[in-house]
Amino acid sequence: MLDDITVGYYNSKTKIYVARGNDTNEDDVLDPNDLKTISDRVLFFLIQRSHTLRPVNDTESESQKVHQAMVLCEQNDNKPGQMISKTAYRGSTIEERRLFDGKYTYHVFSNYIEPENNNSLEITKRVFESSYQPFCIKTLETYLKKRETQLNRKVKPQVRFIQKTNSDSGKFCLSCLATGFYPRHINLTLFRDEQPVADHEMTGGDLLPNGDGTYQMRKSLEISAADKHKYTCSITHLSLDVTLDFDHREQFKFMINSVLAVLALMSVFGAAAQYKV
């Protein structure tokens, strides 16, 4: 991953790295031998730490255990940042290691695993400094150059205000939808008479990926047909700032008029059909 862009994946069984989404030659980004070494070390570390896991209960089977490891590096202002390693068990982080400016820290967050002793910590620190961090930073810097255009692109969100009627309750659901934007950082706010609507009143708000690498976000609010407030949707994104004003009262009038118009057309059509017969 380069930020939120998947640039490739490595199969530790076939020993093959498969690039993703590249439109330039990236054969020189990763040395296959270095990649194999890193993969083998991460896998070995994961197996070793698995031996120290404590079962959640006596009835837990081996098939129910999921143990994961993640290693990442950061770069800020063209300077190496933190090197972070996390391991998780049953979906929750149980331990974390960080290396920054030569300082190595280690934390355990669960009693599922036995803490590493000082000797093991010294070994993992040396592996961080001599292998993980140099490899990760070099790969990151190269990919930043290769994928600069893709990483720095800005795609404006398509914004819509949607009103639907809940046939069961007779209430209205107002939704503000922003979709197709990149990068993923966005601020979507619903206002009631120029005051932000409280989060607990709304549903949604999750950032979701689209199939084309862009993102979407929706926030919804249920209101009564008698609601006299004015609702506004405000979107702030790196590509633009936009505010949509929406008066559901006018929308409701338009819906009533549309229904009456349809009924009138049906009446005329019915009369014409009867006359013809």
Span 189-210, pLDDT tens digits: 999 998 999 999 999 999 999 9
Claim to verify: residue 147 and residue 196 sit in the same structural domain:
no
- Residue 29 · residue 139 · CB < 8 Å: yes
So what's the pLDDT on residue 33?
A: 87
Both tokens assigned to 120 = 């093991």
Q: Calculate mean pLDDT across residues 94-118.
A: 91
One domain for residues 164 and 44: no
| Per-residue model confidence as pLDDT tens digits over 17-32 | 888 888 778 888 888 8
CA distance 52 to 13: 25
Return d(Cα 158, Cα 215) in angstroms, integer.
10
Same domain, yes or no, for 146 and 179? Answer: no
Answer yes or no: do 78 and 202 share one domain.
no
Please list the alpha-helical segments (H only) found in the chain: 32-50, 118-127, 133-146, 148-151, 248-276
Q: Which pLDDT value is given to residue 180?
A: 94
* Most trustworthy range by pLDDT among 63-77, 79-93, 248-262: 79-93
Q: Name the DSSP letter for residue 157.
A: P
User: How many angstroms separate the CA atoms of 198 and 191, rounded?
Assistant: 9
Q: Is the pTM of this model over 0.95?
A: no
pLDDT value at residue 13: 85
Q: How many domains does the chain have?
A: 2
Q: Give the chain's mean pLDDT.
A: 82
**83-92 tens-digit pLDDT:** 999 999 888 8
Note the pLDDT of residue 104: 92
* Residue 3 located in a structural domain: no
Residue 95: predicted pLDDT: 94
What would the two tokens of residue 86 be?
Answer: 């996390």
Same domain, 234 and 179: yes
Query: What is the rounded average pLDDT of the residues 139-165?
Result: 89
Q: How buried is residue 227: exposed, middle or buried, by Cβ count under 10 Å (0-12/13-18/19+)?
A: middle
- The yes-or-no verdict on residue 263 having pLDDT over 50 is no
Say how far apart CA 95 and CA 116 lie, in whole Å: 10
Q: How far is CA 247 from CA 55, 166, 232, in A?
A: 57, 18, 8
The domain that holds 102 is classified in CATH as 3.30.500
Residues 96, 130: one domain?
Answer: yes
What average pLDDT does the segment 117-133 reach?
Answer: 90
pLDDT for 54 equals 76
pLDDT digits (tens, 9 = 90+) for 32-43: 888 888 888 888
Mean of pLDDT values over 103-110: 92
> Would you call 182 exposed, middle or buried from its count of C-beta atoms within 10 A (0-12, 13-18, 19+)?
buried
**Residue 18 shares a structural domain with residue 144:** yes
- What is d(CA 139, CA 142) in angstroms, rounded to the nearest whole number? 5
**What range does the domain containing 193 cover?**
158-246
Q: What pLDDT is attached to residue 183?
A: 92
Do residues 236 and 136 both lie within one domain?
no
Task: Work out whether strand 195-196 and strand 172-181 pair parallel, antiparallel, or are unpaired.
Answer: unpaired
Q: Residue 50 and residue 113: Cα distance in Å, rounded?
A: 8
Identify which of 207, 206, 204, 201 has the alpha carbon closest to the alpha carbon of residue 229: 201
- Residue length of the chain: 277
Whether residue 25 is found in the same domain as residue 147 = yes
Question: What tokens appear for 94 in the block?
Answer: 């149980």
